[in-house]
Chain A
Amino acid sequence: MPVIEMREALNQALKEEMTRDEKVFILGEEVAEYNGAYKVTKGLLDHFGPKRVIDTPISESGFTGLAVGAAMMGLRPVVEFMSFNFSLVAIDQIISNAAKMYYMSGGLYNIPMVMRGPNGAGPRVSSQHSHNMESVFAHFPGLHVMAPSTPRDAKGMLKAAIRCNDPVVFLENELAYNLKEEVPEGDFIIPIGKGDIKREGTDVTIIAWSRMMSLAKTAAEELAKDGINVELLDPRTLKPLDMDLIAQSVKKTNRVVVVEEGHFFSSLGAQVAESVYTNLFDYLDSPIARVYQSENPMPYAANLEAATLPSVDKIIKAVRQVTYKA
């Protein structure tokens, strides 16, 4: 099985789905002639031509709205946000139109549409280019939210997202595009709503997604040296959450750490913790610990940036806290 980068895995998913279904097209800033700001769409223009790989002007609201209309008329758009920070410019189209359309039309108009691109902090890009958007999109009924942590998952999940008949917010990460892994060639699907155990363990479950899973893996390896056996659970789809898998794991380890890149308040991590408390309280041997970004906009200075984001050390500290092994 070939070892490829995350960006190549995503590229394969796009290429395979566009080959499978001619209603699928991709549009966004710099996706065609520039080959994608992060090279996820590399080669697609040459392969499919300008009809289906479309460079847009810097009009997020305009082209996202266009995708909603095209989806209502039967096409299957994939919108690339060069960064999910820019999705805020289009948020009325995403929330009021894409998410609500099927319901408020009484089931007449579904929106088979994927919105994808890098989410979260890039390196040293300061306050306006570092938003973690998962809790915002997950709040509104009508959107699925997915966030792969590995190249293999990225490919199978994006293919599922494109085949979905409802709108999917697909959150990638700039710092994860060069992650490498063996990825099967050809068609395979990782269904929406299915999480994955990335490492089996017995002492504590770390629930983490996207780039935070990489930090959690490193933390788990460190903790193993001290005899703490960590289970890593990646929900992969953030909404709907795979509560069956979470329950299985928590019933085994009885301790939970939730790691997210986003802020503390009203966050997806808070929701995960709430779901565990409500459904699995009797299985917990200690309060849940959360690792998150501190409650301030992202600073530019290297030391402050490092201090505000989750880190391997912070995860290790949280695991020691819930396992009472300081």
Chain B
Amino acid sequence: MASVKKEMQSLSKEKMVEILEKMLTIRYFEEASIKAYQQKKIAGFLHTYIGQEAVGVGTLSHKLPQDSVVTTYRCHGLALTLGLDPKSGMAELFGKVTGCARGKGGSMHFFSKPHNFLGGHGIVGGQFGIGIGAAFKSNYDEDNAVSFIFFGDGATVQGTLHETMNLAALWDLPAIFICEDNQYGMGTANARAIANTDIASKAEAYGMKGHTLNGMDLNEVHSRMGEIVKEVRATRRPVLIHMKTYRYTGHSVSDAGLYRSKEEVDSYKLKDPTLAVAREMIENKMITEDELKALQKRIKATIQEAVDFAEESPEPPLEELTQHVFMDDVGNA
């Protein structure tokens, strides 16, 4: 823990406020999305990032503009971390044409081209190839980009992870495989699905380095990922990170949570990464109670503006239905 404290103190006040702002933005965005879902303004699936904020924010603090990011259907948090306008995100959830995917992708498919955010993807393990493809492109163009590939614990038993770790290791692709282990693949506890739950140990089979991090601790994630990203950028060797984290909300909003106890969920709420960062910043005199309240108020207002924007935005016009099936018009279609 000593090194972790040191990390926070080594970061500037401005940097820490920026990190806290991102974590709170995710938290309030997701809370607002759940509320809107309950009001039936959002439909379909809704998988929130609540509880996992430290993983995304701590990791992507080290993303450079040329780097790319791909993830699962639990994609809102990472998109917001990268700088996606909450208005654009919320409008997507509302199925409006002002959304980041013009209302065609929905909750599971956020994209942002300026951030090389290659999407949220709905098939467990379907995004690994995209991630190593971006890493491949970096080597092809001989730039120094790295590719962040996020996935859940459930995807560690899909064949695609193993195929792509093999390819990345074989071809020296700068791919950072980040397993966000929230301990359940939907309602199935990992011990019931994964023969070897030491996720990082799987790296060894492909001659890669594997690391296990406490994904509930922003300081640990930020400091260790800083070193790891730097190393991958320089060596072009892929790496596997096991982030131990937790989601307080269900797998999706329709999840009644019958597979885990209230005590278990509550115990993790005590370790809430967002609250922990705020508390430590106050202890370290990086922010005052009043400043924190002002920050929270400001972000809540931003999220409310996003909700209002989404609500007021138009649905996609009907001619959008058949647009963007293809980029090229070849006729006859």
Contacts and interface: CB of A to CB of B under 8 A. Distances in A.
A61 interface: yes
Nearest to A164: B328
* From A103, A110, A164, residue with most partner B Cβ within 10 Å: A103
Interface residues of B, number: 50
Contacts of B118: 69, 72-73, 109
Interface string B143-173: 0000100000000000110011011001000
Interface in A84-111: 92-93, 96-97, 101-110
Interface string B107-130: 001011100101101110010111
B326 A69 contact: no
A17 to B, nearest CB: 16
A55 to B, nearest CB: 10
Given A59-B163, A65-B160, A75-B137, A242 B332 contact: yes
B102 interface: yes
Interface in A39-57: 51, 56-57
B103 interface: yes
A51 B131 CA distance: 19
* From B118, B130, B323, B333, residue with most partner A Cβ within 10 Å: B130
B202 to A, nearest CB: 15
Chain B, interface SS category: mixed
A209 interface: no
A70 B327 contact: no
A97 B119 CA distance: 10
Nearest to A112: B327
B68 interface: yes
A280 to B, nearest CB: 15
Contacts of A258: none
B332 A107 contact: no
B246 interface: no
Given A65-B133, A68-B130, A193 B333 contact: yes
Given A63-B167, A106-B104, A68 B324 contact: no
Contacts of B100: 106
B191 interface: no
B317 interface: no
Contacts of A102: 324-327
Contacts of B328: 164-166, 192
Contacts, number: 160
A295 interface: no
Contact of B111 (A25, A68, A75, A108): A108
A26 to B, nearest CB: 13
Interface in B176-229: none
A148 B132 CA distance: 32
A64 interface: yes
Interface in A261-311: none
A195 B330 CA distance: 13
A123 interface: no
Contacts of A109: 111, 113, 118-119
Interface string B293-333: 00000000000000000000000000000011111101111
B140 A240 contact: no
B86 interface: no
Interface size class of A (residues with CB under 8 A): 35 or more
A71 interface: yes
Given A61-B163, A62-B167, A73 B327 contact: no
Contact of B164 (A65, A105, A164, A237): A65
Contacts of A142: 325-326
A104 B327 contact: no
Given A96-B122, A244-B332, A110 B327 contact: yes
* From A105, A107, A166, A240, residue with most partner B Cβ within 10 Å: A105
* From B101, B123, B133, B326, residue with most partner A Cβ within 10 Å: B133
A250 interface: no
B168 to A, nearest CB: 9
B101 A69 contact: no
Interface string A153-172: 00000000000111000000
A111 B70 CA distance: 16
Contact of B332 (A64, A66, A241): A241
B51 interface: no
Nearest to A93: B129
B99 interface: yes
Interface string B50-79: 000000000000000000101000000000
A164 B330 CA distance: 9
Contacts of B101: 104-106, 108
A70 B160 contact: no
* From B116, B129, B131, B331, residue with most partner A Cβ within 10 Å: B129
B217 to A, nearest CB: 30
Contacts of B70: 69
Interface of A: 25, 51, 56-57, 59, 61-75, 92-93, 96-97, 101-110, 141-142, 144, 164-166, 191-193, 237, 240-244
Task: Rank and list the top 3 A-B pairs by shortest CB-CB distance, nearest first.
Answer: A65-B129, A69-B133, A106-B102
Given A64-B129, A97-B126, A106-B104, 9 more contacts: A56-B167, A59-B166, A73-B133, A75-B137, A105-B105, A105-B111, A105-B119, A240-B330, A243-B332
